[in-house]
Structure 1
Amino acid sequence: MALEDELSCTVCTEFFRDPVLLGCGHSFCRQCINLHWAVSSFRRCYICQQVSPQEPVSNLSLRNTCESYLREKNTRTESSGGHECSKHGEVIRLFCQTDGKAICVTCKKQEHNGHKTQLLQQAVKQHKGKLKAEIRPAEKTLLSLQNGTALDNKISKYIQSQTQMTERTIRTEFEKLHQFLRQEEESRISALNEEKKEKGDKIERRIQDGIMSLSDRVKEVEEQIEDDDITFLKNYESIQNRAKYTLPDAELSSKTLIDVPKHLGNLKYQVWEKMKDICPYYPVILNPNTSLPDFSVSDDLTSVTSCLFQQDKHNPFPQHRNCVVLGSVGYTDGTHTWEIEVGNNQYWSLGVCLGSVETSDVYTLTPAKGFWGIRRFGSLFELMNAQISRLKTKGNLEVVRVKLDYRCDEKGRYWYVRFFDAGNDYLIAEFNAVPGSKLFPFVIPEDLSAPLRIVPANITLTVEQKLPFLERHLVIIMICLCFVMALMFLILAWLIERHNR
């Protein structure tokens, strides 16, 4: 059996027929290797995948060896009568297609009478052909994996592209933060140096004034000491008073020094609070993995635009036909509000949908298909339901507010979905009793080069103020005091009544 394996082609698994030799040293049937190359974009060896640019040459030695072995094998088979039926002792020459068994002529006449049969060699050839046909998809898949054309290879390349793009965006965003922090640092150090200069100059002026005043005083006393004796003694007390004179003590206070708390007090908090202006919070982040190739999602994942041409790097996963771009987070409970800037776009759709629509093909966007939303079609505003109901708006609708409320009452668990004109807080449409499943925001941009944008939310920072114990519990204390006084009044009234009896 080992020798037969050496004399068999690895492609067709049969003895070599017109074997040829490749440059890598492997041999195949001429027809087999030609068929293999016909479905491949490169002339690679079936075994080692080495490229064979030269035409294969006939392997005469291998062909002669195969022919000799087959002749010897046929001689042995003829002399031994081939495989014999264990029941009738006859050579097995037939194959029963009905039972799928190799049989002899007597078996066909007895146990397999009326069954559909064929020659054994013909059955073997047909079964090998079926196996080759069945293994061909696996061979094509193997070839696509080796050539890098399979879906997994495309996904791997797309992941690399996503990683590079995301890394560039992260570095860009952090560079903005670093630049802000550097500017803030320079601004605060500059303010510190200005205060230092102001207060230092004030001290320096006082020092210079003191030097000039004392220098004049010393010089004057020294000159009077040199007066004649009579004049000196006559003016002694006056000179003495002048000699004793010193500068008055400076009125020092903490304001004379650097106002350190002004520069360091809650420094990180104050910087963080100022960063709100360059760090907006978006209540909804779009998921670019749900976007079609002809959609462009912004780097910060807050806007999407319909483009005329497909993007260079698009998602290899097949998307549904509705061009839906989903939010990255789904909601299962609570209250959620977000606003979408539609501007002057004439064609768009938005709302909420079930997460299952990401991998499904939905032709109509209705509640029955898992969509609850509104759309604009030219000058018409429509509710996305089975009847496509018309909607009324006040003024020009530029920003749509979506409010999602999860409710639990006697009706059960459900969502209450409402749509408002954010400009005047006018209720446009609502859906009640939406099934209590996981809902995702969605948008569909249809105007070319006109984006739909998520509006950043207003963030308010509050600092908790801890009140003294009495202030925090004043109401409770007052209630307790009233209760005690009422109880004492009742006891006193009872005692008086008892005393009167």
Structure 2
Amino acid sequence: MADSFSLLEGDLSCPVCCEIFREPVILSCSHSLCRACLEETWSKGGTQDCPVCRRRSSRDQPPPNLALRHTCEILLRERETKDTPGPPKEPTEELTEESAKNATEGVVEEATGGLSQSENTSHRGPQGVCSLHSQKLQLFCLEDECLVCVECVLEHADHSFCSVGKAAGQRRKGLRPQLEALQKKMAAFSKAELTCDKMVAHIRVQTQRAERQIKEEFDKLHCFLRDEEVERLGVLKEEEEEKNKRMKERVDEISEIMSSLSDTIRAVEEKLAVDDDVSFLQSYKTIMERTQSVPEDPQLGSRALINLAKHLGNLSFQVWEKMQKAVKYTPVVLDPNTAHPSLYLSEDLTSLRPEDKLQSLPDNPERFDFYRDILGSEGFTSGTHFWDVEVGESDDWSVGVASESVSRKIDKKSGLWAVGVRDGEPYNMTKKTQRIRVSWDKWEVSFFRLSPHIRKLKTIQHKCTERMYPHFHLHNGQTLQILPGKVSLKVENHSV
């Protein structure tokens, strides 16, 4: 028991101070530390890196790990109780079926004689009396998992028995892992709730930013475009309300599940705190079944954020279709909901630049958080597609296409077809204009250099059968700009 206690202390120790956690917080990399230790480490180091894995934290104020804090508080109380002298523990001897058959009142008293006076007294009363024989329930049948009196023993042929105290102790031990599992569930739902709250705030920021940009565009088009402006703002507002409604429903659902988990945890804790072993065993099956009926881990659905590409992408071009005036059209619109937090996008979503400072963005499923990558907002499953990209001074960048299922959270590059520069190699293409051509029907992805003259650099055969998206990577340097296409009565693809 002492070894188990020491192992538990090791698992619940802060990796910085090596003591039991005090006010633990959880980082985005899932490591937990004492709040004071983390603040001291960040203050000395000057960066917000995890002291364990050195990964940059995406939060300035990491949330508290409530489940871990509760578990550490329990451990500290257990350690204080362990260090405090107390009465001797109950005996744990089992009664064989042979001895049970010959049991008399004196034999039963001997088998349960290790119980404290208060425990023996607790058997008196309706809850500690056999309903068939009106005798005290003093034994526990291991085969039938039930309390029995001395007269019930003969009805349990070839069965083994043990004292009430031992049976209760064993089942308390078995119930504690269930409590720990429930507490872990609570921690997962707490984290999901915080993420939902952050998404709601980000949706609000996205809506405000989109509204401002929409107004600026429509102000340039004067009175003729007022009706179009009102219509688009209305669509944006409807989507905001819909997304907020969905998120509120998700938050309410999580809150309801958390409330249910809290009730279950409270019920288990109350049962574990009951000194009356008989009462505990009588309700054991019910409470165990309740602990096993737990919900799945919280999952955050994709596309929870405002679809900025829908409202802002090619906005001027769509208006031009009504006015038949020349406007800027960009064949690829960047999707900010997929952008790594270190990539800053222009307001028209056609250029990006890397910065060392991470933006405070929701960790939604679509977002890249390992590499400094971003996708275009529109994918394709057929046809031939072109887009031109101009890259500034940088020695680490790439352009190409990615499958819809490309990994965004871990170091894995399957589902990506791209060329670029890494430490100046393999192509010296800095400050050059690149063209990407995807011939879906020919299963080809081709790359061209356009300056000073058109030159094919490479053609890659792809075997992707799912939707593909334009892909951009810019680790350092200046700006990556998607160049506008030629606009007439219809969009003409560039020819090689």
For the superposition of Structure 1 and Structure 2, which TM-score range results when normalised by the shorter chain?
A: 0.3 to 0.5
TM-score by length of 1: 0.47
Q: Please give the TM-score of this superposition, normalised by the length of structure 2.
A: 0.48
Which protein has greater RCO, CA pairs closer than 8 Å, 6+ apart?
2
